Chains A and B, each alone.
Chain A
Amino acid sequence: MANNPSQLLPSELIDRCIGSKIWVIMKGDKELVGTLKGFDVYVNMVLEDVTEYSSLVDECEITAEGRRITKLDQILLNGNNIAILVPGGSPDPE
């Protein structure tokens, strides 16, 4: 760690996102945007006010048919399938 050439550790970057919006891109076709409440060493994350995006057309919803997004109050996201984290970003700016 002493020889880390960058000024910021990856975990510190995520830590700085706590309390703000974060864009999570999963392996596969799923993306989520939510407010980061916390995370652990596996990068399991607690997210609030989450919007889940499924790019596949027929990915199901528990609500209306045909929609591709799901809204969730608070989730614990398994870190296992996370590919990319983007502080503040969003796949759908509207």
Chain B
Amino acid sequence: MSGVEKGSTTTKTPADFLKSIRGRPVVVKLNSGVDYRVLKKQCGAFCLIFAGILACLDGYMNIAMEQTEEYVNGQLKNKYGDAFIRGNNVLYISTSKRTLAEGA
């Protein structure tokens, strides 16, 4: 692609990003699609976040995580030693310099 050379010093493709975050603490936010019909809070929105150490992932954004914590609407609800997250549910994967407890 032509533009890549131009910006190569600052360009970071999804593949680059995925390589760079292995073994690091990450936050994974899932799609809160309407078909979830999940535990609703008051007027209805819902969010599901997993925080942990990224063990590995693949091209489908399937994710293997360690020391996983599950947050439902910001509250810690569960902990898993290892967890596999199916990639189709992933909204984004974020690097987390700050911990969840510290806040933004």
Contact B43 A58 (CB under 8 A): yes
Contact A62 B43 (CB under 8 A): no
B67 beta carbon closer than 8 Å to chain A: no
Residue of B nearest to A35 (CB): B10
B17 beta carbon closer than 8 Å to chain A: yes
Cα separation A72 to B44 with both chains bound (whole Å): 24
Inter-chain CB contacts under 8 Å: number: 120
Contact B43 A46 (CB under 8 A): no
Nearest CB of chain A from residue B14's CB, rounded to whole Å? 4
Q: How large is the interface on A (under 10, 10 to 19, 20 to 34, 35 or more residues)?
A: 35 or more
Question: Which residues of A lie under 8 Å from residue B16 when comparing CB positions?
Answer: 38, 46
Question: Which residues of B lie under 8 Å from residue A77 when comparing CB positions?
Answer: 91-92
Contact B33 A28 (CB under 8 A): yes
Contact A75 B49 (CB under 8 A): no
Question: Which residues of A lie under 8 Å from residue B37 when comparing CB positions?
Answer: none
Contact B33 A62 (CB under 8 A): no
Question: Which residues of A lie under 8 Å from residue B42 when comparing CB positions?
Answer: 58
Residue of A nearest to B16 (CB): A38
Contact B45 A75 (CB under 8 A): no
Identify which of residues 44-94 in chain A touch chain B, using a CB-to-CB cut-off of 8 Å.
Answer: 44-46, 50, 54, 56-65, 70-78, 80-81
Interface of B toward A, CB cutoff 8 Å: 1-4, 7, 10-18, 21, 27, 31-34, 41-47, 49, 61, 71-74, 87-88, 90-97, 100, 103-104
3 nearest CB pairs, A to B: A56-B45, A63-B103, A15-B3
